[in-house]
Amino acid sequence: MAWYFILFKQLFNAGAVRQISDIRPVKWDDGSIAWINQTKLPWNEEWKRSKSIPELAKAIKDLEIRGAPAIGIAAAYGIAISAANTAGGTEAIMKSVEKDAKTLGETRPTAVNLFWAIDRMLKKARSLAKAGAKHDMIAYELAKEAQRIQEEDIESNKMMGRLGNKLIEDGDVIMTHCNAGALATGGFGTSYGVIRTAWQEGKDIEVIATHTAPLYQGARLTVWELMRDGIPATLITDNMAAYAMKNAGVTKVLLGADRILMNGDVANKIGTYGLAILAKHHHIPFYVAAPVSTIDQVGKKIKIEQRKPDEVRNILGRLIITVPEVPVLNPAFDVTSHKLVSGIITEHGIARAPYSSSLKRIASGK
Ligand code: MRU
């Protein structure tokens, strides 16, 4: 590119303010939880509201609320609701909170943020009970704690955006998978937070989003967010990834995570592992962005959620595309070896290999 063109572009970008959208997929709404029903996007922006734990648990299971940090935040609100819903003394409240925590914890097994948020809420409830707090105080303090979890998540996303932005160069073509945007978090995005920060900073980037079969979080949700933000985007089917890496100028792969082990292995949406292998073959850096709440500091193995076969036999429950009785494999996530990961962007810094020491430092906040 000629020097005068680069200079013109820099001067132009310096004056331009790129607006990005503000979406919070879950909200505390005067004692209820409100959420945007993500199964209806991008066609309908339907908001739901509930004070019922079974309804909330179903919404998480059915992916009306989805994405690792967002389901943790939703469960935290659920625990606050559980305390408010229960009449009686501290013992009755604690019994109900522990029971509802179990129900919420059984919704999805892979994303560690769910268990992290439930644990944090239970610890808070137990310490309030131990200190002799009464019903209204417990309910009030738990609602505040859940709201804090959401605010902290947004802040850590923004920090990841600032740190990750240093890896993004003008002219990057970034391939992403699934949705790790505002919809999947408290409200800014993990890997998509990095992309939107780079865009806001005036960087000239493009995004290639995969469909993300079988539930199409890439096509339905990431594209929806990209279009709202005005970020140049191209959609591909999952089986076009190798072609795009070879022929469409992909310079980075950047995506989120549902659980990261201390050795750097990453569980994320099914198909991530394949993208990591393809990136390695094409010498393309493969980055993961996730908050510290996604790091599993104790586990050694990751339970992969197996979902209903009909999600594969049908397209979004609308069109049967095969013989109805065909056996199906439907793992929602896969695990990518740390050997394929170029770096893990967190709010406390970017972890690099060897991950066992860099993640230890990051998880301890040092
Ligand atoms: O099944 P989903 O839609 O909940 O899966 C979500 C993902 O795999 C995301 O990539 C991951 O949670 C990171 S979100 C910040």
351: tokens are 């972890």
265: Cβ contacts below 8 Å, ≥ 6 apart? 302, 335, 336, 337, 338
The 3-state DSSP composition of the chain as helix, strand, coil percent (nearest 5) reads 45, 15, 35
Distances (CA, A) of 83 to 62, 97, 122, 193: 24, 6, 11, 33
Host H or E run for residue 18:
none
Beta bridge mates, 261: 296
84: tokens are 């408010």
DSSP state of 294: G
* Kind of pairing between the strands at 173-176 and 47-50: unpaired
Q: pLDDT value at position 13?
A: 55
Question: Are 76 and 257 contacting, i.e. CB atoms less than 8 angstroms apart?
Answer: no
* Residue ranges per structural domain of the chain: 26-157, 158-363
Q: Which of 39, 160, 258 to mutate to test the pocket of ligand 1 (most atoms within 8 A of CB)?
A: 258
Active site residue 258: yes
What does the alpha-carbon distance between residue 298 and residue 196 come to, in Å, rounded to a whole number?
Answer: 32
pLDDT of 9 over the 90 cut: no
Task: Return the percentage of the chain with pLDDT > 90, whole number.
Answer: 92
Tell me the mean pLDDT in the region 8-16: 54
DSSP state of 179: -
107: tokens are 């919704």
Q: pLDDT value at position 7?
A: 56
CA 309 to the chain's CA centroid? 24
Ligand 1 pocket, CB under 6 A? 63, 66-69, 111, 178, 180, 184-185, 190, 217, 255-258, 268-269, 332
Interval 30-89: pLDDT, tens:
999 999 999 999 999 999 999 999 999 999 999 999 999 999 999 999 999 999 999 889
Say if domain 26-157 classifies as CATH 1.20.120.420. yes
Phi, psi of 32 (to 5 degrees): -120, 165
Atom of ligand 1 nearest to the CA of 191: 15
Residue owning the nearest CA to atom 15 of ligand 1: 180
Confidence tier at 258 by pLDDT (50, 70, 90): very high
Q: pLDDT value at position 40?
A: 98
pLDDT of 311 over the 60 cut: yes
What does the alpha-carbon distance between residue 126 and residue 91 come to, in Å, rounded to a whole number?
Answer: 10
5: tokens are 């063109």
Atom of ligand 1 nearest to the CA of 181: 15
DSSP state of 304: P
343: tokens are 């770096």
What does the alpha-carbon distance between residue 8 and residue 82 come to, in Å, rounded to a whole number?
Answer: 57
Question: Are 84 and 129 contacting, i.e. CB atoms less than 8 angstroms apart?
Answer: no
Tell me the mean pLDDT in the region 282-310: 97
Q: What's the burial of 45, exposed, middle or buried (CB within 10 Å: 0-12/13-18/19+)?
A: exposed
> Residue 1: how many CA atoms within 13 Å on its side-chain side?
10
Distances (CA, A) of 345 to 91, 116, 192: 42, 19, 12
Atom of ligand 1 nearest to the CA of 177: 10
Interval 190-245: pLDDT, tens:
999 999 999 999 999 999 999 999 999 999 999 999 999 999 999 999 999 999 99
54: Cβ contacts below 8 Å, ≥ 6 apart? 103
Question: Are 141 and 124 contacting, i.e. CB atoms less than 8 angstroms apart?
Answer: yes
First to last CA, the chain: 42
Interval 84-93: pLDDT, tens:
999 889 999 9
Interval 312-356: pLDDT, tens:
999 999 889 999 999 999 999 999 999 999 999 999 999 999 999
Which CATH architecture best describes the domain 158-363? 3-Layer(aba) Sandwich (3.40)
Q: pLDDT value at position 3?
A: 56
Question: Apex CA 212: angle with CA 255 and CA 207, to 5°?
Answer: 50
What does the alpha-carbon distance between residue 101 and residue 118 come to, in Å, rounded to a whole number?
Answer: 6
Host H or E run for residue 260:
strand 259-261
Select from 289, 265, 303, 271 the least CA-distant residue to 115. Answer: 303
pLDDT of 1 over the 60 cut: no
Confidence tier at 310 by pLDDT (50, 70, 90): very high
Q: Which of 269, 292, 306 to mutate to test the pocket of ligand 1 (most atoms within 8 A of CB)?
A: 269
Indicate which residue of 153, 172, 229, 258 is catalytic: 258
Average pLDDT across the chain, whole number: 95
Judge if the upstream peptide bond of residue 354 is cis by omega within 30 degrees of 0: yes
* DSSP structure string for 61-78: HTTSS-SHHHHHHHHHHH
Q: pLDDT value at position 49?
A: 98
